[in-house]
Structure 1
Amino acid sequence: MASREVTFAIYTRKVISRKANMDVNQFFAAGINYKKTDASIRGQFAVNPEQYALVLCKAAQAGIRELFVLSTCNRTEIYGLAPDAETLMALLCSQTTGSIEDFTELAYVKRGMEAIEHFFNVGAGLDSQILGDYEIVGQIKQAIKFSKEYGFIGAFLERLYNTVLQSSKAIKGETELSSGTVSVSFAAIQFLKQQLTQPANKKIVLLGTGKIGRNTCKNLVDYLGCRRITLINRTDEKAAALAGELGLQYALYSDLEQQVTEADVVVVATHAEGPVFSKQLLENSGSKILIDLSIPNNIDPAAGLLPHITLVNVDGLSKINDETLQKRLEEVPHAKAIITTHIGEFVEWCGMRRHVPALKAARQKLMELQQCGLFLATHPHIADSDVDKHSEMVQKVINNMALRMRRQQLPGCSYIEAINDFFTVRVN
């Protein structure tokens, strides 16, 4: 009996040791953000859906099993389980206009718990260009959904993502971190308030009806009372749909130049790889305010040099003086405390998850003991062929084993106790 227990314990210890720290230690986050790069540099590493799909295809060829890319106006980051961060960075930069050399020079790389904490901070808006930016949650959801469609969100990233969302939701509900100007789309509204005395009377063209464009449009209506808004999108039907929803006008994409020429304010929130209209288009136009919410820049930066043009991009909007900033800064310690709690929950889950292979191995071994003479002698009422009762006994033992491993963190003792339980457990 003693020999059987020792052999069983050694076997299961080997199984668990191979898995013990695999997930956390192989989790990396690498990226660039607004802290070291301006919008023009970030634009070189922005990733659109087509590029994202190619990154994932290459990841499959490289044997990467869990991965996602977060590309916003503030940052481009790649997260994943990989042998090293260099593998992830090479995958990302294989599809960007910026080089791997430049990315490596500018990038931050985080591993293990540091990478996990970073993702929680990003999800809470603590790492955003505008503190408390609530739009980041929607962007994370889109990034995860895209990666999941390609089969790159496994148990580890699924649990991490869900825990980050829970943490972010708690922070939004329990703190004032997201009060005031907490998104680029809302900062655009603040900018127009500063520049115009009667913004509701101005003719506004909004190009791009995706998430940010939609939010900006609703803010123009809700906070500035603007109704003279013309929506334009590369897909005309999408512009028409949003215009119908909000009671606004829309124009065909083919009429973009004429609409821009006639507008007082132009807001661009598209995902084009470069400027959608040039400085030349604006040289002979009247005075205009141009707001570029895109990364890379979708309005030619040279247009801002024209004397009758006021141009601002996401970096400029982030510098707008917000009277609620100090209040939001005071909420940071509370937000970090909430994050710490949720990180603890995730780490606990990781601790239990790494025991799963050992629990499965224990279950398999216990099922094999159905033919053990000692077991049959101690449980004569259970026939060799009574698989259901035997399985019920095994499940009870495995449940107790998992509970002890969680409480005591003594796997070797748990394995031996599982054997003892198996020979003493009773079922109805």
Structure 2
Amino acid sequence: MHINQFYIAGINYKKTDASKRGLFAVNNDHYKSILQKAPSYFLNELFILSTCNRTEIYGVSPCVDSLVHLLCSETEGSAEQFKELAYIKQGEEAIQHLFNVASGLDSQILGDYEIVGQLKQASKFARENGFIGAFMERMINTVLQSSKAVKAQTALSGGTVSVSFAAIQFLMDTVTDIAGKKIVLLGTGKIGRNTCKNLVDYLNTKNITLINRTPEKAAELALELGLQNASFEDAEQHIAAADIVIVATNAEHPVIMKADLLNSNAKILVDLSIPNNIDPAAKELAHITLVNVDDLSRINDATLAKRKAEVPKAKSIIATHMEEFSKWYSMRKDVPVLKAVKQKLQGMHECNLFLAMHTNSGSSSYTVSEDSIQKIINAMALRMRQQRKPGCNYIEAINDFITSRVH
């Protein structure tokens, strides 16, 4: 494949708010269905990254339209809507984008590394279903190595590094006497779990009730942290009694509506879900304080200047890894030519024109070892990496072959 056949099409927080991003959120069922449909779109190498801040499809295709229409075949929003909002990148620009995403440079909160785990899961799912080929496998591995180096060698992740932690910071800045407040956490997946641990560690409270559609997950985390848990069927009454409700579910539609809160006590609601799992209209109620992922991303972070200062260092690390991937791609691109030349050299001793030039020696003298030919091919590969002159490189390889036989 040519590198320009690699595309990324996506939307993120930069151009779309949470409600619009929610139209294109992809859950596990959607993802599975998309991969099942991919062959009918003549696509066999792709993966999808869908988080609270972005939905992106990465893939190898003759044109980007196939990727967009495949993605939107399972989303609430249409392909036409997606194209109006989307950014599309191709070739090296698309690869650069993935490096930036994985490093936290493209995160809504600069340096947010939760995206790395989401990228690993997204590519793992595609790999398990046979949609990660050699090109994307090498690219993803190099991207993850780069991300790891950025995290280890820079302070880009200093301070607040995730939306879930920003929620904790918001509560610390907003709520007094947090220990006396009843907290309900709805959803104990990865984001919910991280948020829960931060609640315990940073707010020094255990007045927390965990609720999850799969009750075993809530019970397990509650036991681990010494908290309470309740069944999903009883969620309504626990939400009604709570002072603070944090929602980190993965529902396709809101699980808490404005109508549910009309006669409630004063509450702080934190929605960490995309699409919104708390009705945005609830913010219209005077006794309700509602923040979502977009609100949380705007929290003033005292360490932001420090992290911004680390951006050039992070970009330098990324450039090094991109160059490494580029070299691998160049060598891989040359493989068909090198194989063809090797086959020609292996058959040279049967070439009548070549034998006619060496009539005194007889054809049997020109059977050469694999090691000799491989040395010639290695030299040709080096020249091809240094300067792109395929025809000349081929002629030089033949000349090396003849010279090696004469001497």
TM-score of the pair, normalised by structure 1? 0.87
From 116, 137, 142, the equivalent of 1:137 is 116
Whether 1:200 aligns to 2:200 is no
How far did residue 413 of structure 1 move? 3.6
Alignment partners' CA distance in 2, 1:270 and 1:404: 55
Whether 1:226 aligns to 2:198 is no
Higher RCO (C-alpha 8 Å, min separation 6): 1
CA gap of 1:404–1:323, structure 2 versus 1, over 3 A, is: same
How far did residue 242 of structure 1 move? 2.1
1:243 corresponds to which residue? 222
Q: Percent identity?
A: 65
Alignment partners' CA distance in 2, 1:378 and 1:176: 69
2:100 corresponds to which residue? 121
Alignment partners' CA distance in 2, 1:421 and 1:247: 74
CA gap of 1:201–1:395, structure 2 versus 1, over 3 A, is: farther
Whether 1:306 aligns to 2:316 is no
CA gap of 1:232–1:423, structure 2 versus 1, over 3 A, is: farther
Amino acid at match of 2:229: Y
From 295, 307, 314, the equivalent of 1:328 is 307
* Structure 1 unaligned regions, length at least 5: 1-21
Alignment partners' CA distance in 2, 1:226 and 1:392: 70
Alignment partners' CA distance in 2, 1:256 and 1:378: 90
Alignment partners' CA distance in 1, 2:241 and 2:370: 76
Amino acid at match of 2:223: G
Counterparts in 2 of 1:173-212, with a 5 A limit?
173-212=152-191
Q: Give deviations 1:211-266, integer Å, cap 9, x for gaps.
A: 11111111112211222222211111122222233332222112211221122211
State the SS of the aligned residue for 1:272.
coil
Counterparts in 2 of 1:73-152, with a 5 A limit?
73-152=52-131
Q: Give deviations 1:125-169, integer Å, cap 9, x for gaps.
A: 111111111111111111111111111111111111112112211
1:4 corresponds to which residue? none
2:326 corresponds to which residue? 347
State the SS of the aligned residue for 2:42.
coil
Q: Give deviations 1:148-197, integer Å, cap 9, x for gaps.
A: 11111111111111121122112112221111112101100011011112
CA gap of 1:242–1:390, structure 2 versus 1, over 3 A, is: farther
State the SS of the aligned residue for 1:354.
helix
Whether 1:62 aligns to 2:31 is no
Counterparts in 2 of 1:272-283, with a 5 A limit?
272-283=251-262
State the SS of the aligned residue for 1:206.
strand
How far did residue 318 of structure 1 move? 0.7
Q: Which stretch of structure 1 is more off in the superposition, 92-101 or 290-299?
A: 92-101
How far did residue 295 of structure 1 move? 0.3
- Kindly indicate whether the alpha-carbon contact (under 8 Å) linking 1:236 and 1:253 is maintained by their aligned counterparts in 2: yes
Alignment partners' CA distance in 2, 1:106 and 1:141: 26
Amino acid at match of 2:14: K
Amino acid at match of 1:217: C
* Structure 2 unaligned regions, length at least 5: none
Q: Give deviations 1:53-98, integer Å, cap 9, x for gaps.
A: 2222222112112111111111111111111122211111111111
- Kindly indicate whether the alpha-carbon contact (under 8 Å) linking 1:23 and 1:81 is maintained by their aligned counterparts in 2: no
Whether 1:33 aligns to 2:12 is yes
Q: Give deviations 1:256-303, integer Å, cap 9, x for gaps.
A: 112211222111111110011222322222221111000000111122
Alignment partners' CA distance in 2, 1:264 and 1:84: 51
How far did residue 369 of structure 1 move? 4.8
Alignment partners' CA distance in 1, 2:351 and 2:234: 82
State the SS of the aligned residue for 1:109.
strand
Amino acid at match of 1:71: S
Q: Give deviations 1:294-342, integer Å, cap 9, x for gaps.
A: 0000111122222222111001101111111111122222222222222
State the SS of the aligned residue for 1:45.
coil
- Kindly indicate whether the alpha-carbon contact (under 8 Å) linking 2:49 and 2:56 is maintained by their aligned counterparts in 1: yes
State the SS of the aligned residue for 1:118.
helix
State the SS of the aligned residue for 2:2.
helix
RMSD: 2.3
State the SS of the aligned residue for 1:76.
strand
- Kindly indicate whether the alpha-carbon contact (under 8 Å) linking 2:7 and 2:94 is maintained by their aligned counterparts in 1: yes
- Kindly indicate whether the alpha-carbon contact (under 8 Å) linking 2:349 and 2:363 is maintained by their aligned counterparts in 1: no
Alignment partners' CA distance in 1, 2:374 and 2:224: 55
1:214 corresponds to which residue? 193
Q: Which stretch of structure 1 is more off in the superposition, 368-377 or 83-92?
A: 368-377
Alignment partners' CA distance in 1, 2:397 and 2:225: 64
- Kindly indicate whether the alpha-carbon contact (under 8 Å) linking 1:293 and 1:314 is maintained by their aligned counterparts in 2: yes
How many pairs does the alignment contain?
400
Amino acid at match of 2:173: Q
- Kindly indicate whether the alpha-carbon contact (under 8 Å) linking 2:7 and 2:59 is maintained by their aligned counterparts in 1: yes
TM-score of the pair, normalised by structure 2? 0.91
- Kindly indicate whether the alpha-carbon contact (under 8 Å) linking 2:210 and 2:228 is maintained by their aligned counterparts in 1: yes
